[in-house]
Structures are given as structure tokens and as C-alpha cells.
């Protein structure tokens, strides 16, 4: 750096100190030392800029160009990362920064700045900077860039000073006293109610008051209209027109309810258990009087918290942060402050970049004037840190396929590389935030991981033999390992019945041993984890550790019987190779597996029976009677069906058959003999075609399915039957647990994540120290947790209300049909001749429907009282026809009719029969 001007030797002047933290780090030298095997990292020491001495000024060594000169100079070594460049302490004062750069790999130093100088930026291509010179001391032609500070975002409620604000989170753990915690908890709950309100939007809502004393109301709709508290990027959320109210009953219980909630309108918001909050403060908040809550809030302000205290939220100008905390001005309503750009900052930045970096490998950055705002948090990852992070990610090989920040710090290889990179000597393992604070945000780290993943796997991962896919490569790599470390045991593509069948068998030798020794196994297939592949699992329960163990995991692209049989044979061969002992079954060999539980998969069952036949032919002498058994007959000695699947498959029949038939179908799953099994079959067959087909399915294939449900027809001893798991819940839970690591994965990611999952079951887990850095962009503070709790409450209530609304719809339609039929019969009765057969039939049907009406109305009322209110229904207060139509004829009417009959001519008597009295209905009815 001999070509650089040397500042004078005068004592330095005290200038504003950059914020503490890793502001300057020579990471390129650090990475170089790491790759070259150095065990320690080289740290670039940060120092303040040195003011120019009067002699330097006289020699014009501080001149930048003919219109500007620098007050002080700071030089930075190659690869230096400066996040907060020192600026002038007063307006117009310039601090020059000289950065040594690599001409072959130029990195703009501004990419490390946490300040943003993008406002009013511009520049020109023909410039000179007298602070820079070529090796021969000649003037350097530069490209000039200029920009002003874009300031920061701060809370709109709080005035921001230029000095750094106190941290939002204490360095050490802090704990609120009971009074503060209760206030914050109550205030956050009210703010969550204020922000969310009642989100129900009924088609029809009544405003009947709830029973209890109304202690205050909260009009959330008015608040939402006056305060756009949703945000420009947040989807619009429906709001109820009612207001939230705080009620109390005679027993001293408090609850919050929407004013429009009533019997039949349960979809509106309701929450009990409010006693856990400060109900007196809540009453003041709900009262609508802005002065009422002040005693509580002023007392909180004296303690340094609450809505009257200014907050210190600061974010970068480019941040997407929209909302700050909730605040209140004295005498005014609560308001959620916004994150707004701070007042104009006068600080500016000029950068001079030589066109010929080989001749002058330096750039000059001049920072002018002080910042009028606090420095933003280091949320941006400097480019050199990002390169080092990406280098570590690429060293993970296949693991990058589905890596996450949490899995990253659990990865031993990554932790080792990170320790080496940082020269880590502390006992605990380093976290991502130790590389740079911005990486402590898991969402930001996930974004960077996604970029690298796309570069590593541009073609994705799949099942290819030519060219070899990642899964084939993985098996080839594992074959070079010792046997105990091998997991991918077979990657095969074979022709089965003219079709290509592909599968990948995964199991550690330790899992082979577990399968070989297991007494009771379960088997099931899943479909969610790997796209385009089915995952077949064999699982058992370890009675010593009281944990479930996956013995074999097979990825298959077909679930035919031939495919299952091929896989089972391959598993048998793997167990024999790993254990030097075959997989045995107790009914055949006197030791080994007692039972196998599965769901009723016909292909899987047939393949398992054929597999048992294959074992019999290869392990038993020709004289064994088991050679004569069919595949289905073998199943009667070992197979049981999952009761959960059996009951689930029966549910559709509950509405199709009678209760007696349904009970008979359920009774077949029994370890004890039924009183009369044939009578049970007869009862089931009487249930119609669906029930008969169900029973026929159970009796097909030597009744293997029935034998696996009904122990008296099975050959499994009763004690082993009862000891066997009656469900495949172990497999279902294993599928669920491994799915937590990811679903819809590529084949390679599915294989290797399965290996990680199975390895975690066989090995102890390593604990990872908590980094103390927020794991999400949204910090889970009291407000967010309170709002999430409300959301969970609403979701749970809506699930129940949906069922009630469906019942209301059903009863409403039934009542509507009855009313329509009554109306039709009344019209027929009115239009028909009074004494005709049509009139008599219509009157009789009308009376029957009228008798049924009260029961229909009562069922609808009962269902309506539990409804959400979104389903409207109507019960008429007046009948839809003249009730006189239901009245019977009196004796005087009978006499009048008799007179009419007597007056008729003999010719008419020959064609008509006299009217007779119907004693049951007291009606006159004609007959022939």
C-alpha cells in the first residue's frame, strides 16, 4: 500500500464510534486459513479513522477532488467487511475509506453496508480521485457513484434520537414481576381482540342480548374502518358488524362475546375463561372511555412499559416491516403504530472505482455527514459471509436436498466445518448467528439455502440407472463402507409381468437383527413422503426400550402382489446376509415371528402368503405338512388385521344397513367365539347387496380376511392373538414422525431423511444450545401468541359448528318438504268436491302431515339453538292452510246429507251407495 497517501502522525480526534459487533472481519483471509489447514482464524482489527495532520492538508494529501477534501482516513485490508462505515461527526465532514480489493474477484464494499445509500443515487463514468494512484503514482481514472442515506424505519409513535436505542431484548434472561406480567398479558389479549374482532359474517344475524351483565363493548368494525390495521400485503379479512362485549354472570365468571351472538347464532365470537386476566383493567378498556384505563397504564409507564411508553423498534429502510407496537396518546384511543421511514438523513456516500484495478487495486468510499437516526440491525448478510456460508452448504453433498436451518446446526459435518471456519474454541457448538447475526433468522437462512440447493441439483434427483441417479450413487458409496453403516441395500429395476418395477430397499444391519428377532410385526404403506413413490414399512415394538422400531423401509413404484413378493424375498436375503441367520416364523420353525398385523390389502396379503410358501419350500423338509398349504392357508397361522382400519371401513355401512346388521358386521372382529357364526352371516346377508358383498369379500381366498379378524377361525394361539398389536398405529405413527422431516420429497431426499430418522431411533440425539435469536420474522410475543390462541379457538369452534349447521340444513329441508306437502294437500282438498273420494283422501293425508309437523319443528328448534347462525331457517308462526279443512262433519251435517239422499231420484240411488259414518275419524265418506 505504498502508493496510498500516508496520514499524519498527529493524535487522533475522537469520532463517533461505530456500533459494537462484528463490524469488520477479514473473512477472505479466514477462509484461506481454513482451506489451508490453519486451526485459527485471522481477525481484522477495527480502528477509527485517523484525521489528516496540518502537514498532510498543506500537501493536499486529503484532497478527494478539486471540490472536496477528507477530514480523516481509514484503510481496510483485503477482504475486509465493514458494515457500519464511519461517517463525519458534523455536516459536511467527510471520512475517506480506502479498501484493498482483489482485481480478479472484485467485491463491492458497499454490499456489506447495513446502511442504505440508495436515495437520489447516480454518478458519472469520467472521474478522478486524488486519494487513489497507480503503481507509478499517476492519476487514476475512476467511475464515480453517489447516493444519499435512505434512513431507517421507526415507530410512528416514538420520536427517534440519533444515538443508538437500547436493545429490545436484554443480553441476559429477564423475568417480569407478577404485576407487569399480568398487565402485559391483559393488554396483549385486548389488543388481539381489537385487531381481530369477530370475523363471523352471517347471512342473517339477530342482536339478542346474552344473559348476564354487560360491562362494556368494543366496536372492532369502527376501529378497523378508522385504523387500517391489516396492512397492504395482508389478505382482506371479513368482520362482523357487531361489537365485542365483556359480560359477567351471577357466579362472578367473565366472558367476551359478540353483541350479535344469540341462540341460533353461535357462529359469532364467544370466549370464556377471561378471569385469568385483570378483569378490572379489561372492564376499563371495554368501557369505551379513553380516560378509564389511564390509572393502570400510567402505573405501567412508571415501570417503563405499557402503551404510554415510547418503543424503540428500528428496521432497515428496505425492510418489509409494517407494524410496530400498540400505543395510546393521553385521552385518545389505542392505536397500532406503523413502521415509517424516519425524517430525511443528510448523510451521503461517494464511491470511486478505478477502471484498471490491476494497476490500482483499491477503491475509495467517502462518507459525508452524520446519520440522523439509529443504526439498523445487521439483517443483511455481507457478500463474503454469504460466500463462506454457501461453501459450507455445498460441502453437505446430498444433504442440501432438503436441509433446513434447524437440521443444519444438527448436522455434524456442517458443525465441524463451521467450527474450523470460525476457529471455534468454546465448549458449545457454534450457531449460524456466530457466523453472522443475520443468519440467526431462520427464514433468511432458509432463503439462502434454497439458492444453493438449486445450484447443486439443477436436474433434481430421481431413479436413473443410466446415467446413474443420486440414489444409485449413494448405494455405490455405501458399499465401500463397513457393513454396519450401510443403509441403501438394494436399488433395482426389474421386469414384472411385462412392466418395469423399481424399488429401493433401505435398512441398517441393526434393523435386520431387529426384524430377525421380532415376535410381532406390523406392515403398512404410505404415499405422501416421496413424490411418485410408495413407502412400505415393516415395524415392530421394542419391549426393552418401549419404542417403536422401523425394521425395513422400501420405496416402491408399484404395489402389486408380485412386487410385494419380490421385495419380501429381498428383505429375507438381506436379513440372512446381515445376521447369518434366516428370518423365521414360530408356526414353521418353532421360533421367530409370531404374528404380522396389516390392513386389508389383498395384494400385500397374497404376497405375504406366497412369501411364506417360498420360505417353507426353502427351509422345511419335504415331509412337512406345511408344503400342502395354499398361500391363503399360510396366512391363517400368522396374519391379523388392523381393527382400526376394519372399523373405519365399516363406517359407510352405518347409514346403509340396519343397526342389527351393522352390529353383526362389527362382531366378526372378535377373539372369542360368537354364539352362532352362521346366524351372524345370515343377519349380514339380510342387509342387502352392499352387506352381502362385504361378507363375500371376507370369505374369499379361503376366508383369509375373516380368519385374520375372527380368532376362532384362525390357527393363531389365543395367547399370541391377544399379545399381537390389534392396530397398525405403530406404522401410522412412524409414517407421521418421518413425515415431519418433510413430505413430497425427491427420492434421494426421502432415502437419506429416512436414514436420518432410522438412525435417530437407534442412536441418542444430540442437544443443540439455544441461539437466543428469533426463529421467525414475526417474534412470538404476547400479542402474537394471544392472537394465535384466538385463531385456534375459532377453528375449533367452527369445526363443531359445521356439524350443527349440517343438522340444521337437514331438518330445515325436512320441515320444508312437510309444509309443501301440506300446502299441496290443502289445495287439492279445496278444489275437490266436498264429498268426493279425492277430498277424503286429501283430508286424511293433510291430518297425518299436520300431526307430524310439531315433531319436525321441535327438531329444527333444537338444532337451531346450537347453530352458528350462518344457516338461516324459518318456522312459520301461522299454518299455511285453513285449519277448518281439518274439522270433521257434525251430526247436523249428517242429517242434512241424509235429507239430500232421500230427495234423490231412484235412478240416482241405483248408481250411488248411501253415505256411512266412519266411527274412527267421525267423517262421512262415500263408498260404492
Let me know if residue 787 belongs to a domain. no
Range of the domain at 72: 48-151+344-376
Across the beta sheet with 314-316, the strand order is: 314-316, 152-155, 335-341, 323-327
Supply the DSSP symbol for 312.
-
Spatial distance between the Cα atoms of 173 and 529, rounded to a whole number of angstroms: 40
Q: Counting Cβ atoms within 10 Å, is residue 835 exposed (0-12), middle (13-18) or buried (19+)?
A: middle
Q: Could you give the angle at the alpha carbon of 367 between the alpha carbons of 362 and 372, nearest 5°?
A: 155
Q: Specify the pLDDT at position 904.
A: 55
Q: Specify the pLDDT at position 4.
A: 33
Which range of 181-185, 291-295, 630-634 scores highest in mean pLDDT? It is 630-634
Nearest to 137 by CA among 235, 61, 196, 67: 61
Q: Please write the tens of the pLDDT for every residue from 489-534.
A: 998 889 988 899 999 999 999 999 999 999 999 999 988 888 889 9
The sign one gets for the Cα dihedral 55, 59, 64, 66 is positive
Spatial distance between the Cα atoms of 345 and 759, rounded to a whole number of angstroms: 56
Q: Counting Cβ atoms within 10 Å, is residue 90 exposed (0-12), middle (13-18) or buried (19+)?
A: exposed
Residue 333 scores a pLDDT above 50: yes
Give percent of the chain with pLDDT exceeding 90: 28
Q: Are residues 804 and 914 in the same domain?
A: yes
Q: Specify the pLDDT at position 153.
A: 81
Which range of 19-23, 218-222, 797-801 scores highest in mean pLDDT? It is 797-801
Q: Specify the pLDDT at position 803.
A: 84
Pairing of strands 488-496, 534-542: unpaired
Q: Specify the pLDDT at position 164.
A: 55
Confidence band, pLDDT 50/70/90 cuts, at residue 708: very high
Element (H, E) at 526: strand 520-526
Q: Specify the pLDDT at position 664.
A: 94
Q: How far from 320 is each of 120, 123, 231, 505, 728, CA to CA, in Å?
A: 21, 28, 11, 47, 47
Residue 227 scores a pLDDT above 70: no
Which range of 73-82, 198-207, 770-779, 829-838 scores highest in mean pLDDT? It is 73-82
Q: Counting Cβ atoms within 10 Å, is residue 390 exposed (0-12), middle (13-18) or buried (19+)?
A: middle
Supply the DSSP symbol for 253.
-
Task: Retrieve residue 683's grid coordinates.
Answer: 343377519
Q: Are residues 314 and 352 in the same domain?
A: no
Q: Are residues 70 and 198 in the same domain?
A: no
Residue in the structure block whose three cell numbers are 450413487? 473
Let me know if residue 227 belongs to a domain. yes
Strand partners, 494: 501
Supply the DSSP symbol for 175.
-
Q: Specify the pLDDT at position 891.
A: 43
Residue in the structure block whose three cell numbers are 365399516? 650
Q: Are residues 432 and 395 in the same domain?
A: yes
User: What is the three-class DSSP state of 918?
Assistant: strand
Q: Are 363 and 351 in contact (CB under 8 A)?
A: yes
Task: Retrieve residue 437's grid coordinates.
Answer: 447475526
Q: How far from 903 is each of 122, 898, 900, 907, CA to CA, in Å?
A: 117, 9, 5, 12
Spatial distance between the Cα atoms of 89 and 833, rounded to a whole number of angstroms: 108
Higher pLDDT, 738 or 217: 738
Q: Specify the pLDDT at position 13.
A: 29
Q: Are residues 364 and 407 in the same domain?
A: no
Task: Retrieve residue 626's grid coordinates.
Answer: 406345511
Q: Are residues 247 and 354 in the same domain?
A: no
Let me know if residue 836 belongs to a domain. yes
Q: Counting Cβ atoms within 10 Å, is residue 877 exposed (0-12), middle (13-18) or buried (19+)?
A: exposed
Give percent of the chain with pLDDT exceeding 70: 80
Q: Please write the tens of the pLDDT for every residue from 134-160.
A: 887 888 899 999 988 888 888 877 666
Nearest to 818 by CA among 846, 783, 779: 846
Residue 57 scores a pLDDT above 80: yes
Q: Are residues 349 and 296 in the same domain?
A: no
Q: Are residues 89 and 194 in the same domain?
A: no
Q: Could you give the angle at the alpha carbon of 773 between the alpha carbons of 297 and 276, nearest 5°?
A: 35
Supply the DSSP symbol for 157.
S
Spatial distance between the Cα atoms of 176 and 821, rounded to a whole number of angstroms: 69
Q: Could you give the angle at the alpha carbon of 413 between the alpha carbons of 408 and 417, nearest 5°?
A: 95
- Domain's final residue, options 442, 458, 474: 458
Q: How far from 498 is each of 130, 482, 494, CA to CA, in Å?
A: 80, 37, 9
Q: Could you give the angle at the alpha carbon of 553 between the alpha carbons of 551 and 554, nearest 5°?
A: 140
Residue 7 scores a pLDDT above 70: no
Let me know if residue 782 belongs to a domain. no
**Helix then strand then coil, % of the chain, to nearest 5:** 40, 20, 40
- Domain's final residue, options 458, 490, 514: 458
Q: What is the mean pLDDT of residues 541-561?
A: 87
Q: Specify the pLDDT at position 535.
A: 94
Q: Specify the pLDDT at position 225.
A: 46
Q: Are residues 62 and 194 in the same domain?
A: no
Spatial distance between the Cα atoms of 756 and 762, rounded to a whole number of angstroms: 10
User: What is the three-class DSSP state of 96?
Assistant: strand
Supply the DSSP symbol for 408.
H
Half-sphere exposure of 123 (CA within 13 A, CB side): 20
Q: Are 435 and 451 in contact (CB under 8 A)?
A: no
Residue 715 scores a pLDDT above 60: yes
Let me know if residue 866 belongs to a domain. yes
Q: Specify the pLDDT at position 206.
A: 46
Half-sphere exposure of 410 (CA within 13 A, CB side): 14
Q: Are residues 227 and 335 in the same domain?
A: yes
Which of 649-663, 801-815, 862-876 bottoms out in mean pLDDT, i.e. has the lowest?
Answer: 862-876
Residue 292 scores a pLDDT above 50: yes
User: What is the three-class DSSP state of 289?
Assistant: coil
- Domain's final residue, options 321, 353, 376: 376
Query: What phi and psi, each to the nearest 5 degrees, are found at residue 745?
Result: -95, 165
Q: What is the mean pLDDT of residues 205-213?
A: 48
Let me know if residue 167 belongs to a domain. no
Q: Are 167 and 335 in contact (CB under 8 A)?
A: no
Q: Specify the pLDDT at position 168.
A: 64
Nearest to 450 by CA among 405, 502, 494, 395: 405
User: What is the per-residue burial (b if ≥16 Cβ within 10 Å, else e) of 263-297?
Assistant: ebbbbbbbbeebeebbbebbbbbbbeebeebbebb
Confidence band, pLDDT 50/70/90 cuts, at residue 576: very high
Q: Please write the tens of the pLDDT for every residue from 452-483.
A: 987 877 665 556 544 445 556 567 677 777 88
Higher pLDDT, 106 or 846: 106
Query: What phi and psi, each to the nearest 5 degrees, are found at residue 23?
Result: -75, -35
Q: Are residues 215 and 296 in the same domain?
A: yes
Spatial distance between the Cα atoms of 473 and 594, rounded to a whole number of angstroms: 38
Q: Please write the tens of the pLDDT for every residue from 815-826.
A: 888 888 888 878
Q: Specify the pLDDT at position 351.
A: 93
Q: Please write the tens of the pLDDT for every residue from 342-370.
A: 767 889 999 999 998 988 999 999 999 99
Spatial distance between the Cα atoms of 569 and 608, rounded to a whole number of angstroms: 10
Residue 410 scores a pLDDT above 60: yes
What is the full DSSP assignment across 206-230?
--PPPSSEEEEEE-HHHHHHHS--S
Q: Counting Cβ atoms within 10 Å, is residue 821 exposed (0-12), middle (13-18) or buried (19+)?
A: middle
Residue in the structure block whose three cell numbers are 441417479? 469
Q: How many domains does the chain have?
A: 4
Conformation bin of residue 835: beta by default, left when phi > 0, alpha when psi is -120 to 50: alpha
Strand partners, 354: 142
- HEC secondary structure over 559-592: CCHHHHHHHHHHHHHHHHHHHCCCCCEHHHHCCC
Residue in the structure block whose three cell numbers are 455481507? 382
Let me know if residue 470 belongs to a domain. no
Q: Are residues 275 and 369 in the same domain?
A: no
Spatial distance between the Cα atoms of 886 and 878, rounded to a whole number of angstroms: 15
Query: What phi and psi, each to the nearest 5 degrees, are found at residue 209?
Result: -75, 150
Spatial distance between the Cα atoms of 83 and 728, rounded to a whole number of angstroms: 57
Residue 331 scores a pLDDT above 80: no
Higher pLDDT, 896 or 184: 184
The sign one gets for the Cα dihedral 444, 449, 454, 460 is negative
Confidence band, pLDDT 50/70/90 cuts, at residue 5: very low
Mean pLDDT of the chain: 79
Q: Where are the alpha helices (DSSP H) in 304-410?
A: 383-394, 405-409
Other CB atoms within 10 Å distance of the CB of residue 762: 13
Let me know if residue 554 belongs to a domain. no
Q: Are 483 and 477 in contact (CB under 8 A)?
A: no
Q: Specify the pLDDT at position 914.
A: 45
Q: Please write the tens of the pLDDT for every residue from 154-193.
A: 887 766 665 656 556 666 777 778 888 888 888 888 888 8
Q: How far from 509 is each of 482, 516, 517, CA to CA, in Å?
A: 11, 10, 12
Q: How far from 566 is each of 317, 489, 516, 518, 629, CA to CA, in Å?
A: 62, 14, 18, 21, 20
Amino acid at each position: 500500500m505504498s502508493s496510498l497517501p500516508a496520514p499524519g502522525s498527529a493524535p487522533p480526534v475522537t469520532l463517533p464510534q461505530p456500533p459494537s459487533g462484528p463490524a469488520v472481519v477479514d473473512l477472505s483471509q479466514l477462509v484461506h486459513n481454513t482451506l489451508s489447514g490453519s486451526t485459527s482464524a485471522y481477525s481484522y482489527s477495527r480502528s477509527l479513522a485517523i484525521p489528516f495532520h496540518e502537514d498532510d492538508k498543506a500537501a493536499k494529501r486529503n484532497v478527494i477532488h478539486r471540490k472536496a477534501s477528507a477530514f480523516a482516513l481509514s484503510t481496510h485490508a483485503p477482504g475486509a467487511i465493514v458494515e457500519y462505515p464511519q461517517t463525519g461527526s458534523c455536516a459536511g465532514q467527510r471520512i475517506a475509506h480506502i479498501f484493498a480489493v482483489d482485481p480478479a474477484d472484485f467485491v463491492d464494499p458497499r454490499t456489506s453496508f447495513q446502511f442504505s445509500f440508495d436515495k437520489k443515487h447516480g454518478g458519472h463514468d469520467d472521474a478522478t480521485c486524488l486519494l487513489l494512484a497507480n503503481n507509478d503514482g499517476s492519476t487514476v481514472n475512476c467511475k464515480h457513484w453517489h447516493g444519499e442515506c435512505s434512513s431507517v424505519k421507526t415507530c410512528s409513535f416514538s420520536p427517534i434520537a440519533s444515538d443508538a436505542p437500547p436493545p429490545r431484548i436484554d443480553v441476559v434472561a429477564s423475568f417480569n414481576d407478577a404485576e407487569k406480567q399480568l398487565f402485559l398479558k391483559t393488554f396483549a389479549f385486548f389488543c388481539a381482540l381489537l385487531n381481530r374482532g369477530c370475523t363471523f359474517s352471517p347471512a342473517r344475524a339477530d342482536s339478542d342480548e346474552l344473559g348476564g351483565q354487560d360491562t362494556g363493548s368494543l366496536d372492532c368494525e369502527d376501529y378497523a374502518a378508522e385504523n387500517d390495521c391489516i396492512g397492504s400485503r395482508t389478505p382482506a379479512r371479513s368482520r362482523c358488524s357487531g361489537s365485542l362485549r365483556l359480560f359477567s354472570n351471577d357466579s362472578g365468571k367473565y366472558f367476551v362475546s359478540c353483541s350479535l351472538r344469540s341462540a341460533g347464532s353461535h357462529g359469532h365470537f364467544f370466549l370464556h375463561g377471561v378471569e385469568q386476566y385483570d378483569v378490572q383493567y379489561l372492564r376499563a378498556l371495554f368501557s369505551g372511555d379513553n380516560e378509564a384505563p389511564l390509572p393502570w397504564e400510567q402505573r405501567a409507564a412508571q415501570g417503563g412499559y405499557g402503551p404510554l411508553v415510547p418503543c424503540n423498534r428500528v428496521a432497515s429502510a428496505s425492510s418489509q416491516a409494517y407494524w410496530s407496537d400498540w400505543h395510546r396518546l393521553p385521552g385518545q384511543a389505542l392505536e397500532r403504530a406503523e413502521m415509517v421511514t424516519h425524517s430525511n438523513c443528510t448523510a451521503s456516500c461517494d464511491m470511486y472505482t478505478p477502471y484498471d484495478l490491476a494497476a490500482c487495486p483499491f477503491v475509495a468510499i467517502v462518507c459525508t455527514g452524520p446519520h440522523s437516526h439509529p443504526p439498523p440491525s445487521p439483517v443483511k448478510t455481507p457478500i463474503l459471509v454469504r460466500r463462506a456460508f454457501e461453501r459450507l452448504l455445498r460441502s453437505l453433498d446430498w444433504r442440501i436436498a432438503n436441509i433446513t436451518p434447524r437440521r443444519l446446526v444438527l448436522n455434524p459435518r456442517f458443525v465441524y466445518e463451521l467450527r474450523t471456519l470460525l476457529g471455534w474454541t468454546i465448549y458449545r457448538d457454534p450457531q449460524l448467528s456466530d457466523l453472522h447475526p443475520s443468519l440467526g433468522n431462520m427464514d433468511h437462512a432458509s432463503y439462502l439455502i434454497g439458492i444453493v440447493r438449486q445450484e447443486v441439483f439443477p436436474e433434481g434427483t430421481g431413479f436413473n440407472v443410466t446415467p446413474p441417479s443420486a440414489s444409485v450413487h449413494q448405494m455405490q458409496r455405501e458399499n465401500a463402507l463397513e457393513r454396519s453403516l450401510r443403509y441403501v441395500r438394494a436399488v433395482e429395476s426389474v421386469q414384472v409381468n411385462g412392466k418395469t418395477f423399481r424399488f429401493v430397499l433401505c435398512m441398517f444391519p441393526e434393523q435386520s437383527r431387529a426384524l430377525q428377532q421380532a415376535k410381532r410385526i406390523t406392515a403398512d404403506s404410505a404415499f405422501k413422503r416421496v413424490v411418485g413413490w410408495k413407502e412400505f414399512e415393516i415395524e415392530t415394538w421394542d419391549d426393552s426400550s418401549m419404542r417403536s422400531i422401523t425394521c425395513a423401509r422400501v420405496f416402491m413404484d408399484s404395489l402389486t402382489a408380485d412386487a410385494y413378493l419380490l421385495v419380501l424375498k429381498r428383505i429375507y436375503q438381506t436379513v440372512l446376509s446381515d445376521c447369518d441367520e434366516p428370518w423365521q416364523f414360530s408356526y414353521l420353525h418353532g421360533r421367530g415371528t409370531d404374528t404380522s398385523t396389516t390392513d386389508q390389502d389383498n395384494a400385500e396379503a397374497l404376497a405375504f402368503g406366497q412369501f411364506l410358501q417360498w420360505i417353507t419350500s426353502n427351509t422345511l423338509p419335504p415331509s412337512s405338512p406345511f408344503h400342502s398349504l395354499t398361500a391363503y392357508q399360510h396366512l391363517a397361522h400368522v396374519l391379523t388385521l388392523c381393527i382400526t382400519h376394519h372399523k373405519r371401513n365399516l363406517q359407510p355401512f352405518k347409514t346403509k344397513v340396519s343397526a342389527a346388521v351393522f352390529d353383526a358386521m362389527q362382531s366378526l372382529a372378535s377373539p372369542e367365539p360368537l354364539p352362532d357364526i352362521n346366524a351372524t352371516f345370515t343377519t349380514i346377508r339380510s342387509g342387502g347387496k352392499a352387506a352381502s358383498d362385504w361378507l363375500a369379500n371376507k370369505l374369499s381366498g379361503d376366508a383369509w380376511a375373516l380368519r385374520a379378524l375372527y380368532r376362532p377361525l384362525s390357527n393363531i394361539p389365543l395367547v399370541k392373538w391377544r399379545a399381537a398389536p390389534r392396530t397398525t398405529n405403530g406404522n401410522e405413527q412412524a409414517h407421521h414422525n418421518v413425515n415431519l422431516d418433510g413430505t413430497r420429497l425427491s427420492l434421494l431426499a426421502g432415502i437419506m431423511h429416512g436414514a436420518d430418522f432410522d438412525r435417530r431411533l437407534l442412536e441418542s440425539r444430540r442437544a443443540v444450545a439455544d441461539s437466543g435469536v428469533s426463529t421467525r420474522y414475526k417474534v412470538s410475543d404476547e400479542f402474537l401468541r394471544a392472537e394465535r390462541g384466538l385463531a385456534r379457538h375459532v377453528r375449533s369452534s367452527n369445526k363443531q359448528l359445521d356439524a350443527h349447521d349440517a343438522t340444521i340444513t337437514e331438518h330445515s329441508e325436512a320441515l320444508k318438504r312437510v309444509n309443501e306437502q301440506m300446502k299441496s294437500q290443502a289445495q287439492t282438498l279445496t278444489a275437490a268436491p266436498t264429498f268426493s273420494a279425492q277430498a277424503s283422501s286429501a283430508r286424511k293425508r293433510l291430518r297425518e302431515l299436520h300431526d307430524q309437523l310439531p315433531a319436525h319443528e321441535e327438531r329444527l328448534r333444537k338444532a337451531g339453538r346450537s347453530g352458528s347462525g350462518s344457516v338461516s331457517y324459518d318456522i312459520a308462526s301461522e299454518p299455511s292452510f285453513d285449519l277448518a279443512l281439518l274439522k270433521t262433519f257434525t251430526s247436523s251435517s249428517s242429517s242434512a246429507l241424509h235429507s239430500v239422499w232421500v230427495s234423490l231420484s231412484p235412478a240416482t240411488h241405483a248408481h250411488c251407495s248411501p253415505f256411512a259414518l266412519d266411527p274412527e275419524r267421525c267423517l262421512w265418506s262415500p263408498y260404492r
